[in-house]
Amino acid sequence: MHTLVTFAFKNVRRKPARTAILIFAIALLVSALVFSISFVQRVNGSIKRTSERLGADLIVVPNNARGAAEEVLLENQTKSFYMDRSILDRVRAIDGVAVVTEQIYLVTLSTMCCSVPEAMVVAFNPETDFIIKPWLAEKLKRPLAKGEAVAGAESSFNIRLGLVDVNSKLFGNEFKLVGSLDKTGTGLDNAVFITLDNMDQIIKSGAAGKLKPSDISIIFVRVKPGVDPSRIAAKVEDTIIEADAVSRRDIGRNVITALKDISRIFTMTIILAAVMSFFLVWAIFTAIANERAKEVGIMRAIGAKESHIMRLYLIEVLTVGVIGSLLGILAGSALSAVFSSTFSIVQQLSTSLTLTERVVIALVSFLGGTLICVLGALGPVRRLKGLEPLLVIKTE
Amino acid sequence: MPQIALENIVKDYPVGSATIAAVRNATTSVERGQFVSIVGHSGSGKTTLLSLIGGMVRPTAGRVLFNGQDVYAWDSDRLSEYRCEKVGFMFQSASLLPVLTARENLLLPAAFHSKPAAGHERRAEDLLRAVGLGDKLHAYPSQLSGGQQRRVAIARAFMNEPELILADEPTGDLDEETESEMMQFFLRMNAERGTTFLMVTHNSDLAGRARQRFRMDRGELTVLQ
Ligand SMILES: Nc1ncnc2c1ncn2[C@@H]1O[C@H](COP(=O)(O)OP(=O)(O)O)[C@@H](O)[C@H]1O
Ligand SMILES: [Mg+2]
């Protein structure tokens, strides 16, 4: 076995330029795999985690604000949208609804109202809230009082950096920052949270533009056990024309749809790269098979079994595949790190991949690259292994 | 039981629509430990005869028996084992693998052996020393002269301690002195280990030192003594 491995390694080094091209092609394929799987996985994972962390079975937002709401919840975008508070009672009244809670989204604009960079301010109802409370419990052992604010994990980071000065005025009111939240992986990590009872003063100050006291932005709904959230969502859509409802399963569907196009481009690129790599490996190993036919004849004549020939060439192919795949994983990871920041969709995501996810992606890509290599070489190598020892005797 | 028995061996090569009869109805037997020389004009079928015996070319008709067993009734793997473990073949033309050193070329048959003996690395080096190439263990074929390459191929044939050596003009391109040394080596292996030799040669002096002599003439095999 040792002799065969040495032999295979020597074969790999026989035509360095040719081997380099092969390794490069496989590396390219694998890096494309790593990059695109990471990208798609990161977006998908982030959406899934968000809808889990939100703890609501469905959300109700103003008509046509569905996209904006998802951008707030998933992508850290700052958006505001409003509907009338009466919708809250109408949703609560729907059969199957367990609890509801409302929030109001305000966008701070550094030029207009507040001495902070553009950020989301979320006013929530501490009486009914079940969204913020779980995140808050850890940090603050008492309910949030009027005139107090807590910061999301990311914005508190900004505050610590001095980018945001909370003690200055927020919508014409003084707030005292009393804590910060854990990282949730949702877009709300960038927000600052206050309670609803501050809204009167904010509206009175006129700093919140044309916001009316009866305006709310979003309603979070929990359904009763055994009730299908999408049925409630449909009911809301039917009975409340001013509102859109999105069930937990559908949160992020807009983002996913946008992602589908990107995924499709990735998939096409990868299929193309895989087909090209396959044919490159096939062509090179066909050439190798022709060049080394006599050598294989010699080996067969001195007693090599077909399995020995197969093994010898598989080691060669695997060596190329493994080196190419490893380089590809390095390149793909670097590419992900550098270029994912140019996709705004990823830039906005607050979560990154876990170590396990990274390892799995690397493993999958590695297997993909190596498999293409082996598949491409299989045909030529199988033809080689069947060679009769005759050749060596004949050629003079 | 003879070690090798040929029963009505016929070998035709198709060439276009015609066929060339390389071996015509050869029947003979060789006892274990024999030293046989084979003479004959070029194209008379000597190489084909050795290949048939060595399990490398399937006969058109007839049987090749090794220790009473029909060689060509075996499957591909068993045939490979026969070539690997029972037979040592010295080819007429260059047959070293160019990417391997002299030593590695010798290790290859051991790598194909189904039960490789311990100490084959040592054995490879000893054999190379025995053919006078102790200082060329790590030389590549391209760094060796034709005669030196020939001697590496000779040494390789002995790697798996075969019962039978099939040598196709093994000393063809050696100088007289080396040729004689190689011949001494063969005779010693034959005498000490009882290895059977079938050797094609044009050298009538060498042919004369064999105990049994075959002649090939246009595919016809005649046993001279
Ligand atoms: N693979 C082959 N295909 C066709 N003809 C062959 C082949 N090998 C040998 N021959 C022919 O068979 C005859 C015997 O060849 P060979 O056994 O090599 O003779 P020798 O070794 O005595 O020179 C020659 O006419 C040769 O041309
Ligand atoms: Mg010949």
Nearest residue to A59 via CA among A186, A204, A229: A229
- Which atom of ligand 1 is the closest one to the Cα of B42? 23
Residue pairs between chains A and B whose CB atoms are closer than 8 Å: 85
pLDDT at A375: 95
* Bigger pLDDT: A68 vs B22: B22
pLDDT for A118 equals: 66
State the maximum Cα–Cα separation within chain B, in Å, rounded to a whole number: 51
pLDDT at position A321: 95
Q: Sorting pLDDT into bands at 50, 70 and 90, what band is A351?
A: low
Summary mean pLDDT of chain A: 82
- At B16, list the tokens: 């276009």
Express each pLDDT in A238-273 by its tens digit.
Answer: 888 888 888 877 776 666 777 778 888 888 999 999
Q: B4: pLDDT confidence band, cut at 50, 70 and 90?
A: very high
Determine the residue among B83, B142, B154, B156 to mutate to test chain A binding: the one whose Cβ has the most chain A Cβ atoms within 10 Å: B83
State phi, psi for B23 to the nearest 5 degrees.
Answer: -135, 130
Q: Which atom of ligand 1 is nearest to the CA of B14?
A: 4
Contacts of B131 (CB under 8 A, 6+ apart): B151, B152, B154, B155, B182, B185
What is the mean pLDDT of the segment spanning B85-95? 92
pLDDT at residue A100 in the model: 92
ipTM of the complex: 0.95
DSSP structure class, residue A333: H
Distance from C-alpha of A306 to C-alpha of B73, rounded to nearest angstrom: 18
What residues contact B43, with CB distance under 8 A and at least 6 apart? none
Helix (H, G, I), strand (E, B) or coil at A123: strand
Number of residues written out for chain B:
225
Comparing CB atoms, the residue among A3, A10, A302 nearest residue B89 is A302
Q: Across residues B177-191, what is the average pLDDT?
A: 92
Q: What is the pLDDT of residues A154-199, one digit of tens each?
A: 776 555 554 455 555 566 677 777 777 777 667 777 788 888 888 8
Instruction: Judge if the beta carbon of residue B43 lies within 6 A of ligand 1.
Output: yes
Q: Nearest Cβ partner of B89 from A301, A390, A396?
A: A301
Is residue A110 pLDDT above 60, yes or no? no
Query: What per-residue confidence (pLDDT) applies to A167?
Result: 54
Identify the top-confidence range among A99-108, A154-163, A279-288, A386-395. Answer: A279-288
Q: Which long-range contacts does A160-163 make (Cβ < 8 Å, 24+ apart)?
A: A163/A117
Q: Please provide the CATH number assigned to the domain covering B33-47+82-224.
A: 3.40.50.300
pLDDT of residue A72: 79
* C-alpha closest to that of B154 among B120, B182, B195: B182
Task: Identify the pLDDT of residue A163.
Answer: 47
Distance of CA B137 to the CA centre of its chain: 22
The mean predicted confidence, pLDDT, of chain B is 93
User: Which tokens sit at B15?
Assistant: 């060439």
Assign A144 a pLDDT band (cuts: 50, 70, 90): confident
Which residues make up the environment of ion ligand 2, defined by Cβ < 5 Å? B 47, 92
Report the C-alpha dihedral over residues B49, B55, B57, B60, rounded to 10 degrees.
80
Pick B76's closest partner by Cβ from A6, A302, A306: A306
Q: Look at B99 and A303 and tell me if their CB atoms are within 8 Å.
A: no
Cα B185 to Cα A121, B127, B148, B150, B193: the distances in Å are 97, 11, 15, 14, 12
The reported pLDDT for the residue numbered B24 is: 94
pLDDT of residue A396 exceeding 50, the answer is: no
Q: Which of residues 46-85 of A touch B (CB under 8 A)?
A: none
Provide the pLDDT for residue A172: 66
Q: What pLDDT, on a 0 to 100 scale, did the predictor assign at position A347? A: 56
Q: Whose CA is nearest to atom 27 of ligand 1?
A: B43
Q: Does residue B96 carry a pLDDT above 70?
A: yes
